[in-house]
Amino acid sequence: MVQIVSGPKGSGKTKTMIDYANDNNANHEGEVVFINDREKYRVKLDNQIRYINVEDFFIDDPKVFFGFLNGVIAENYDITTIYIDNVLRIVNLDNISQLESLFSDIRKLEDKYSVQFVLSVCAEDSEIPEFMKPALS
């Protein structure tokens, strides 16, 4: 199941995601991927974690990002977990409710390829739409 890390800006979501990824990498088999749109977090991750800075690519909406995720998985079927930090900013959306289609598509990838997704969103728990509530961590 897709897992959500939520909280207001500055609440430590990225640090939590980095800690999760590092712990996951140390305790599990398979490949771990961390996706962000900032280069500065690369040094905080274990060097065995594949870090992808999406600013290097031409991602401007949820459908393009979904295609990108398909390519990441197609390139390496050993991926077990993909962390996506600040998904709203990556896909250029202003409102968390606009993530419903992408969230549904990510669940399809999760089911088909047995890849776990952990997403961070800048929102209070009370702002999380119903379609995401089961994924709150």
- Mean pLDDT score across all residues of the chain: 91
pLDDT cut 70: percent of the chain above it? 99
Higher pLDDT, 134 or 108: 108
Q: What is the largest CA-CA distance in the chain?
A: 37
Distance, CA of 76 to CA of 32 (rounded, Å): 10
Taking only the tens place, the pLDDT of each residue in 76-125 is 999 999 999 999 999 999 888 899 999 999 999 999 999 999 999 988 88
What letter represents residue 10's amino acid? G
Query: Which amino acid makes up residue 55?
Result: E
**Domains recognised in the chain with CATH numbers:** 3-135 (3.40.50.300)
- pTM over 0.75? The answer is yes
pLDDT at position 27: 83
pLDDT value at position 137? 61
